[in-house]
């Protein structure tokens, strides 16, 4: 009976987690745990996730208005008047943008053990992002709000501001597919210990296919941050967990994602203006993301209720900056587009709390399970401070539970 409960606990944590690594927009709602080394084990998961945020983290790690994570935005005349030369960047004033972010995420993944220790996983998702209640406060270059008298005294600025807000709109939406993951790996469960129940080790790699944009925001001026990965990713993740007292698991995970550069048409700052939201120019260039690093640790157990598993974890993710090299270097000088990029480095740390109920009935070969996950960031730099609530329906299929 003791071995049966240990096996049930192992199967309940068998889903691997790289397919939902943290992003600029929100933490990951997946849990970095090893794959259980069970003969021909099959795992199927359907995930529904909702993320939302009213604020972001700025470069100093402080809370800021959602779209002000890198300070104020220069308001250029090119936003409304395309006849103004693109190589000039003289702002009429500056603006502090704010909004409310929300995302609905639908994900699916299938994992399959090949015999016992080898496995592969396919995973993808579709996301519906929304920025609503978009507002703008005109400011000076230092972020001090302009007074009504200062705006009224400049007739050009007074006419510009309401037209700019009207062009941007109060709501912008974006729909994407992906990223899509093709992963394979090796997992090993060791049980020959006197004081430990088991040690699980999982190593996995594969490729991450970039997102496919389904629906762009309808506004002429897009305020969505350009922070989606556009390179093919090559991940490498190592996860280790050990069991003690027949009911408690302690684990840790580390991963690195390297990216293969490719050519994309992306927004580029042609002039020396630090715009990261409103960029009236775009061009074909070679894009190279630097690696992303992630670490996590957790404790997990079942003790209070039958077939119930609880989980508490801490995770940290850092994405290094992106480099650009335009094909038209006269219009888009390399030094300028890399000094004022739309995509900067970011980092995020967050807590994950999860609760899972499994419905295994020994000796059945199918185990349905229901998981609820909540994530809350507590530290970040130049990224959204989104909280995430997710529900997951899973199914574990094995020849021998």
Non-local CB neighbours of 335 within 8 Å, separated by 6+ positions: none
Angstrom distances, CA of residue 384 to CA of 58, 105, 153: 9, 16, 36
Write out pLDDT tens, residues 240-299. Answer: 999 888 888 999 999 999 999 999 988 888 888 888 888 888 899 999 999 999 999 999
pLDDT of residue 100: 97
pLDDT of residue 353: 94
In the DSSP assignment, the letter for residue 147 is P
d(CA 217, CA 264): 19
Q: Is pLDDT larger for residue 98 or for residue 22?
A: 98
Most confident of 12-26, 169-183, 189-203, 361-375: 169-183
Query: Which is nearest to 294 in space by CA: 312, 314, 316?
Result: 316
Query: Which is nearest to 120 in space by CA: 40, 239, 26?
Result: 40
Is the torsion defined by CA of 27, 30, 31, 34 positive or negative?
negative
Angstrom distances, CA of residue 147 to CA of 99, 137, 138, 158, 292: 22, 10, 9, 12, 43
With a cut of 80, say whether residue 15 has pLDDT above it.
Answer: no
pLDDT of residue 40: 81
With a cut of 90, say whether residue 66 has pLDDT above it.
Answer: yes
Angstrom distances, CA of residue 228 to CA of 258, 319, 322: 15, 11, 11
Angstrom distances, CA of residue 20 to CA of 28, 29, 49: 5, 7, 11
Total domains, the chain: 1
d(CA 159, CA 30): 48
Write out pLDDT tens, residues 172-216. Answer: 999 999 899 999 999 998 888 888 888 999 999 999 999 888 887
Q: Note down the domain range covering 248.
A: 2-397
With a cut of 50, say whether residue 1 has pLDDT above it.
Answer: no
pLDDT of residue 12: 38
pLDDT of residue 34: 81
Write out pLDDT tens, residues 130-170. Answer: 999 999 999 999 989 999 999 999 989 999 999 999 999 99
pLDDT of residue 18: 47
Tell me the mean pLDDT in the region 65-86: 88
User: Model pTM greater than 0.95?
Assistant: no
Paired residues of 100 in beta bridges: 132
pLDDT of residue 394: 86
Q: Is pLDDT larger for residue 270 or for residue 347?
A: 347
Weakest-pLDDT range from 15-19, 97-101, 305-309: 15-19
Q: Are 355 and 313 in contact (CB under 8 A)?
A: no
> What mean pLDDT, rounded, does the chain reach?
87
Paired residues of 263 in beta bridges: 286
Angstrom distances, CA of residue 204 to CA of 2, 118, 253: 30, 10, 11
* pLDDT band (50, 70, 90) for residue 218: low
Strand intervals (E) in 87-209: 93-114, 118-139, 171-177, 180-190, 198-209
């Amino acid at each position: 009976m003791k071995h049966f409960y240990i096996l049930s606990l192992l199967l309940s944590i068998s889903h691997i987690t790289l397919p939902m690594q943290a992003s600029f927009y929100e933490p990951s709602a997946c849990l970095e745990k090893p794959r259980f080394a069970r003969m021909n084990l099959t795992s199927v998961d359907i995930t529904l996730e909702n993320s939302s945020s009213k604020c972001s983290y700025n470069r100093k790690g402080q809370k800021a208005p959602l779209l002000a994570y890198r300070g104020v935005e220069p308001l250029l005349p090119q936003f409304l008047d395309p006849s103004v030369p693109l190589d000039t960047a003289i702002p009429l004033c500056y603006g502090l943008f704010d909004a409310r972010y929300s995302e609905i995420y639908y994900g699916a993944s299938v994992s399959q053990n090949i015999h016992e220790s080898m496995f592969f996983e396919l995973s993808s998702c579709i996301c519906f992002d929304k920025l609503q209640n978009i507002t703008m406060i005109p400011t000076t270059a230092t972020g001090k709000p302009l007074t009504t008298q200062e705006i009224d005294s400049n007739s050009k600025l007074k006419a510009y501001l309401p037209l700019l807000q009207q062009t941007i709109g109060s709501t912008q939406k974006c729909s994407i597919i992906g990223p899509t993951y093709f992963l394979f790996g090796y997992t090993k469960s060791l049980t020959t210990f006197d004081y430990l129940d088991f040690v699980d080790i999982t190593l996995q790699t594969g490729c991450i296919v970039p997102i496919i944009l389904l629906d762009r925001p309808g506004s002429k001026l897009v305020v969505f941050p350009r922070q989606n990965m556009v390179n093919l990713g090559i991940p490498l993740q190592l996860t280790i967990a050990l069991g003690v007292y027949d009911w408690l698991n302690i684990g840790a995970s580390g991963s690195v994602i390297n990216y293969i550069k490719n050519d994309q048409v992306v927004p580029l700052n042609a002039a020396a203006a630090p715009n990261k939201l409103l960029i009236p120019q775009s061009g074909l260039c070679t894009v190279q993301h630097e690696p992303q690093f992630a670490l996590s640790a957790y404790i997990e157990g079942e003790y209070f209720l039958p077939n119930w598993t609880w989980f508490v974890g801490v995770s940290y993710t850092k994405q290094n900056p992106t480099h650009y090299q335009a094909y038209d270097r006269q219009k888009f000088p390399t030094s300028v587009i890399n000094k004022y990029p739309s995509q900067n480095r970011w980092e995020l740390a967050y807590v994950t709390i999860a609760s899972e109920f499994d419905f295994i009935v020994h000796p059945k070969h199918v185990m349905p399970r229901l998981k609820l996950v909540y994530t809350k960031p507590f530290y970040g730099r130049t990224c959204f401070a989104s909280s995430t609530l997710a529900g997951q329906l899973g199914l574990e299929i094995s020849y021998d539970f």
